Chains A and B, each alone.
Chain A
């Protein structure tokens, strides 16, 4: 079983729509959680950290459920520039474990 599992999508949404997706992780001892964004053939870039209380950064909202080992990301008012692969990332003992990514395409 992979350490981090994500719905690969693709999610194809119109501009202005809301899109949400999630991931699950297997290591209950994981210490910290992140969403990274990766554009085609580029390096991953940190989108946001994820906290148990839930956190928001502009149009992006992340939630963490430690009991269910579940992390979610919601994007409101989608922009064309949000088209990317979103990687769910879990930190266990300083090593990042990545999901395979969820592809989001925002269309005009």
Chain B
């Protein structure tokens, strides 16, 4: 499968625990994006990378959230001290970049439930 992959697909954790998600983009894609989606809403932008450089972070990304893309390939999103409000689907997308008409392809998402 040459699409975007995410791991794990589901994560259940207790409030206060740390969690880390992984995203593997389509291999030749330079840009990688993280979004969060809650029930009944469209995805909301969190952050994006051009190769290994994190170019922008949303106000939604509190200091408990950190994302990395150390070698410009896969990326990780870590949430520290999880809260119930963090429960959501975390979506990763990738694109070739850098044109505005660039299509972003989404992975299947990681569904986080914080108890």
Question: CB within 8 Å of B: which residues of A?
Answer: 4, 31-32, 34, 42-46, 49, 87, 89, 91, 93-101
Chain B count of residues within 8 A CB distance of the other chain: 27
Residues of A within 8 A of B91 (CB): 43-44
Asked whether, in the complex, the Cβ of A95 is within 8 Å of the Cβ of B45, the reply is: yes
Interface presence of B98 (CB below 8 A): yes
Q: How far is the CB of B12 from chain A (nearest CB, A)?
A: 16
Asked whether, in the complex, the Cβ of B98 is within 8 Å of the Cβ of A94, the reply is: yes
Asked whether, in the complex, the Cβ of A32 is within 8 Å of the Cβ of B45, the reply is: no
Question: CB within 8 Å of A: which residues of B?
Answer: 31, 33, 35, 40-45, 48, 55-56, 58, 91, 93, 97-98, 100-109
Q: Which residue of chain B is the closest to A93 with respect to CB atoms? A: B56
CA distance in complex: A38, B42 (Å): 10
CA distance in complex: A71, B104 (Å): 19
Q: Which of A32, A45, A99, A101 interacts with B106 by CB under 8 Å? A: A45
Residues of A within 8 A of B31 (CB): 94
Asked whether, in the complex, the Cβ of A98 is within 8 Å of the Cβ of B102, the reply is: no
Asked whether, in the complex, the Cβ of A32 is within 8 Å of the Cβ of B101, the reply is: yes
Q: Which of A43, A49, A100 interacts with B41 by CB under 8 Å? A: A100
CA distance in complex: A95, B45 (Å): 7
Other contacts beyond A44-B91, A87-B43: 16, CB < 8 A: A31-B101, A42-B108, A43-B91, A43-B108, A43-B109, A89-B42, A91-B102, A94-B97, A94-B98, A95-B45, A96-B35, A98-B42, A98-B43, A98-B44, A100-B42, A101-B42
Q: Which of A4, A32, A43, A49 interacts with B42 by CB under 8 Å? A: A4
CA distance in complex: A34, B100 (Å): 11
CA distance in complex: A20, B101 (Å): 24
Asked whether, in the complex, the Cβ of A94 is within 8 Å of the Cβ of B43, the reply is: no
CA distance in complex: A31, B109 (Å): 26
Residues of A within 8 A of B97 (CB): 94
Asked whether, in the complex, the Cβ of A32 is within 8 Å of the Cβ of B40, the reply is: no
Asked whether, in the complex, the Cβ of A31 is within 8 Å of the Cβ of B48, the reply is: no
Q: Which residue of chain B is the closest to A92 with respect to CB atoms? A: B100
CA distance in complex: A100, B43 (Å): 8
